[in-house]
């Protein structure tokens, strides 16, 4: 079974702080990784993807990948109440198009 594991949370951070969301995966064949954000009652939307070891920055978001440790993380700087949502980590193997999602981490940013 190819697992993507996330702490369900909720993770509570004060406004302006850095939120750190973590994800581990079991399938070493996974080559690309994605972070989707899902607001309550809404559908998931892609916010970041990362293919290579290291960091990738996009605005307030930084994705980090360590393939040796099978670990992916998402950092959100200067967290805002509007960042409050569930963040889904997903992994994809090189072959095929299927994304394997974790169950998500709920983030609450308090004013």
Partner 1 sequence: DAGVIQSPRHEVTEMGQEVTLRCKPISGHNSLFWYRQTMMRGLELLIYFNNNVPIDDSGMPEDRFSAKMPNASFSTLKIQPSEPRDSAVYFCASSAQPNTGELFFGEGSRLTVL
Where do contacts with partner 1 occur on this chain (CB under 8 A)? Answer: 32, 34, 42-46, 49, 88, 90, 92, 96-104
- Closest to partner 1 by CB, 18 vs 46, is 46
- Closest to partner 1 by CB, 3 vs 15, is 3
Burial class (CB in 10 A: 0-12, 13-18, 19+), 36: buried
CB of 14 to partner 1, least distance (A): 27
CB of 90 to partner 1, least distance (A): 7
CB of 66 to partner 1, least distance (A): 19
How many C-alpha atoms does 64 have within 13 Å on its Cβ side?
A: 13
- Closest to partner 1 by CB, 49 vs 71, is 49
CB of 20 to partner 1, least distance (A): 21
């Amino acid at each position: 079974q190819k697992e993507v594991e996330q702490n369900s949370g909720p993770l509570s951070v004060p406004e302006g702080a850095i939120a750190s969301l973590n994800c581990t995966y079991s399938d070493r064949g996974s080559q690309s990784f994605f972070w989707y954000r899902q607001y309550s009652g809404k559908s998931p939307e892609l916010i970041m993807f990362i293919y290579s070891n290291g960091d990738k920055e996009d605005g307030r978001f930084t994705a980090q990948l360590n393939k040796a440790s099978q670990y992916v993380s998402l950092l959100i700087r200067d967290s805002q109440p509007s960042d409050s949502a569930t963040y889904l980590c997903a992994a994809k193997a090189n072959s095929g198009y299927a994304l394997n999602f974790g169950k998500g981490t709920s983030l609450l940013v308090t004013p």
